[in-house]
C-alpha cells in the first residue's frame, strides 16, 4: 500500500513559470481592486471588466509552461499516492502530468453558465466575451471561485486530507480560507513540509519542516529525499 502525500499548492509554484503571484512585491492584487474583478458584486457591476481581467490572465497562462517543481511532483507518483490540492487556476499541474488534481478556486481554461453552475465548458485559452452564452442562453462566466462564493471542492479536499501520511505546502501565503485551513485537516502525526522563499505564518503548525527556498530549488530536493528514504 503506497503512502499518501497531499500537496497544497498556491501561486508561488507557478511564479517560476512566469505567472504572477497575488501578494508580495509585484503581486496581482497590487494592481487591481479584488472586489471589482474577482467577486459576484464586481460581476454584477461590470461583467465586461471581469471578463477582460480573466481574458488577460488566460492569455498569460497560455504562454506558461510547467516548471521543474510541477514536474518533480509527477515523479513522486512512482512511490506515493499523490493528490495535488491547488488554489491555482492555471493548468500547469495537468500539463506536467499529475494524475490527481483538485482545483479549489476553479480553472481558467473553463467557462460556466450563469444560470446553471453545473454547465461547465472547456474553452482552453479562448477569451470569453459579453454575449457568449451557455446552451440555456445565459452569459458565460469564468469557471472561477470568486471572493464571497462557496468553494465546492473543499469537502472533497478535506476528505482527501484525513488519511494523509505527508503534507507538502508549496507556494502559498496561507492567507485565504478555507484553503489555508487544510493544513489542520491532515493527521497531526503526519509529516509536514512548507516550501517558500519567505517565512509564511503557519505558526499554529506543529512538527512542520520549513524549507526556505523557491519551488524549483526546494521541491526537487524534498522529492529526491522522499523517493530515496
Ligand atoms: N517558489 C515558491 N514560493 C514562492 C515563489 C517561488 N518561486 N515566489 C513566491 N512564493 C510564495 C510567496 O512567498 C507566497 O508565500 O508564494 C506565496 C504566494 O502567496 P499568494 O500570492 O498569496 O498566493 P496564494 O497563496 O496562492 O493565494 C491564495 O488568494 O487571491 C486568492 O484565489 C486567489 O488562489 C489565490 C488565493
| Contact by Cβ (8 Å): 174, 202 | yes
Domains held by the chain: number: 2
Residue 55 sits in a domain whose CATH number is: 3.30.1600.10
Distance CA 221, CA 217 (A): 7
Query: For ligand 1, is residue 12 a contact (CB within 6 Å)?
Result: yes
Residue 226 sits in a domain whose CATH number is: 3.40.50.1220
Which pLDDT tens digit goes with each residue over 188-228? 999 999 999 997 765 556 678 999 999 999 999 999 999 99
Residue 182 belongs to domain spanning: 1-18+66-105+151-229
Query: For ligand 1, is residue 42 a contact (CB within 6 Å)?
Result: no
Task: Flag whether pLDDT at 86 surpasses 80.
Answer: yes
Task: Flag whether pLDDT at 162 surpasses 60.
Answer: yes
Q: Which residue's CA is minimally distant from atom 36 of ligand 1?
A: 176
Q: Which of 70, 105, 184, 201 is catalytic?
A: 105
**Within this chain, do residues 13 and 47 fall inside the same structural domain, yes or no?**
no
Amino acid at each position: 500500500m503506497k503512502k499518501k502525500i497531499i500537496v497544497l499548492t498556491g501561486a508561488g509554484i507557478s511564479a517560476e513559470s512566469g505567472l504572477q503571484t497575488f501578494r508580495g512585491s509585484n503581486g496581482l492584487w497590487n494592481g487591481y481592486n479584488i472586489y471589482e474583478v474577482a467577486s459576484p458584486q464586481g460581476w454584477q457591476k461590470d461583467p465586461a471588466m471581469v471578463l477582460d481581467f480573466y481574458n488577460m490572465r488566460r492569455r498569460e497562462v497560455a504562454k506558461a509552461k510547467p516548471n521543474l517543481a510541477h514536474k518533480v511532483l509527477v515523479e513522486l507518483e512512482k512511490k506515493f499516492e499523490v493528490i495535488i490540492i491547488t488554489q491555482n487556476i492555471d493548468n500547469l499541474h495537468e500539463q506536467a502530468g499529475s494524475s490527481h488534481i483538485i482545483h479549489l478556486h476553479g480553472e481558467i481554461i473553463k467557462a460556466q453558465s450563469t444560470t446553471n453552475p453545473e454547465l461547465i465548458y472547456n474553452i482552453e485559452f479562448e477569451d470569453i466575451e459579453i454575449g457568449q452564452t451557455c446552451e440555456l442562453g445565459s452569459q458565460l462566466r469564468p469557471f472561477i471561485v470568486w471572493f464571497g462564493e462557496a468553494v465546492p471542492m473543499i469537502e472533497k479536499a478535506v476528505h482527501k486530507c484525513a488519511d494523509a501520511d505527508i503534507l507538502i505546502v508549496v507556494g502559498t501565503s496561507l492567507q485565504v480560507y478555507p484553503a489555508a485551513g487544510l493544513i489542520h485537516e491532515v493527521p497531526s502525526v503526519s509529516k509536514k513540509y512548507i516550501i517558500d522563499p519567505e517565512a509564511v505564518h503557519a505558526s499554529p503548525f506543529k512538527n512542520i519542516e520549513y524549507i526556505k527556498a523557491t519551488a524549483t530549488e526546494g521541491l526537487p530536493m524534498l522529492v529526491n529525499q522522499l523517493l530515496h528514504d
